[in-house]
Structure formats: structure tokens, C-alpha cells
Amino acid sequence: MDLGLNGKTALVTGASRGIGLAVSEALAAEGVRVFGVARTITPELEKVAAGTVSADLSTTEGANAAVEAALSELGGIDILVNNAGGGDADKLVLGGFLDAPEAQWRTLFDLNLFGVITATRAALPSIIERRGAIITVSSINSRIPAGGPSGYSEAKAALTAFGKRLSEEFGPQGVRVNTVSPGPVGTDIWRGPKSLGAALAAANGITQEQFLAAIPSQFNMASGRIAEPGEVAALVTFLASELAASIIGADLVIDGGTLKQV
């Protein structure tokens, strides 16, 4: 299937590994010139990207600098993939609301919401001109307020609402804005040695391997397995294409059947 993306340009944030790297690889395979942004640039990203820059997207300065670098390298942005998010597992306090310091909330909102707002604001003039697309990676945690460290689910809920606002305002100008909400995905967030998965396993007194093996049953996943980054990337790539021209303002869940409500 020809997605009609050859020759387009894309800015992908959080592009060095996991979902962001898979998205960068999938877009590049369709002929898209990808500019990748991450705190640490990996050889895998450099292999597929037309350009890269190291930036802290949780700061206004970092997000603006990343978009400026992308515009300079690409000459304009057709596709923005807001993928950077999550948080440093070794700095997150697990437990209830009263356990987490206020600073954790601010840190999670800076990365998962405000960084996206800044980058999107900077990239939008070019995207409007080119009648392009914005795809933001949120999470099913946006629909499960009690899931994850305090502040994370709430930031993702605001992020999903932000995408809906953008779609209403800029859809009539030819900009397609959608959100993708994965469930557990086999990235370093779960599988890494210093990851959230490792921290949660330790908190439950089991090995990380045992914890990962139990995720499908604990999340009551109909698929019986967690998703892989390439599967999320395939959905993002489709949404970036003109074949998805009528999909505007959607929050598309890719969670292996975790969420049960209609």
C-alpha cells in the first residue's frame, strides 16, 4: 500500500529509542525526511534521520530550539510526531497521592504536556501552510486516573484533551490532529534495567522477568501480550498519511484489548 508520504518531512520527538525510533524508521521507509529529537542521540536514529538534535523537551528553550533546528534542516514540517514523554523511572516516587512530592507533578507535566504545547506552537505555522498532520502519543493511562505514578495519568489526560482542542481549531485549516494511546509496549520503559518496569517489579518483591510475564494477565489484555514499538509506529505512520484524511480529532487506542468500556 502506497501511503503517499514520499518526499514529506517529519519532526519526531523522543526519537532515539522505543516508539520514537520505530516511528522514525517507519516514516523513513516511506520516503519521509525525518528530523529526530532526543536528549541522547543514538546510532540507530542517526542511521535513518536526515538530521538530529539533542534537546530537553521539558523546557521551553529546548522545545523551541528543537523545532528551529528541524525547520532549518528540513525547510518546513509536514508531520509532527509528539512522542517524547514518560519520565525518569529512578526519579519517580511510586505509591499514592500523598507519597509523591509536588515537584514530581511539575516534572511530569513539563515533559508530558507543556513540552508538547511549546513544540506544537512552534511547528504549527509550517504545518498549517503545508496542510500537514500532528500525531501525539498519549497513553491509556489518560483514561485510568489511578494508573501509574502520581501526575503521569493526569498529564496524559490533559495531553489527550489538548489534541482534541487542536483538531477543532485547526482541522478547518487542513491540519489533521490525532492522538494515539498505547497500553504497555515493549520498550525500555518496561524492559530496561533501570526502568519503571524494574522499579515496579522491585516494589512488588518479584523479578523483572516475572513482572513482565504477568503484565498481560494483570492488565486483562485480550491479546495475551504487550504490544511492540513497530505496531504503534505502523498506526502513527498511517495517521500521517492522506489515507487517513477523514480521521481528525480521534484518540486511537492500541492496547491489546486492555480497556473494556465501549
Judged against a pLDDT cut of 70, whether residue 17 lies above it is answered with yes
Higher-confidence position of 239 and 95: 239
What pLDDT score was predicted for residue 147? 64
Give mean pLDDT, residues 241-252. Answer: 97
State pLDDT tens for residues 224-244.
999 999 999 999 999 999 999
What pLDDT score was predicted for residue 87? 75
Judged against a pLDDT cut of 80, whether residue 148 lies above it is answered with no
d(CA 63, CA 120): 9
What pLDDT score was predicted for residue 250? 98
Judged against a pLDDT cut of 70, whether residue 90 lies above it is answered with no
Q: Cite the residue boundaries of each domain of the chain with CATH code 3.40.50.720.
A: 9-183+228-254
Judged against a pLDDT cut of 70, whether residue 89 lies above it is answered with no
State pLDDT tens for residues 23-60.
999 999 999 999 999 999 999 999 999 999 999 999 99
Q: What is the CATH number of domain 9-183+228-254?
A: 3.40.50.720
Give mean pLDDT, residues 171-198. Answer: 88
d(CA 218, CA 258): 10
* Residue 38 designated active-site: no
Residue in 35, 109, 114, 152 annotated catalytic: 152
| Least confident piece of the model among 31-40, 142-151, 252-261 | 142-151
In which band, very low, low, confident or very high, does the pLDDT at 110 lie, cut at 50, 70 and 90?
A: very high
What pLDDT score was predicted for residue 178? 98
What pLDDT score was predicted for residue 144? 87
State pLDDT tens for residues 152-170.
999 999 999 999 999 999 9
Q: Report the predicted TM-score, pTM, of the whole model to 2 decimal places.
A: 0.93
Sign of CA dihedral 156, 161, 220, 257: negative
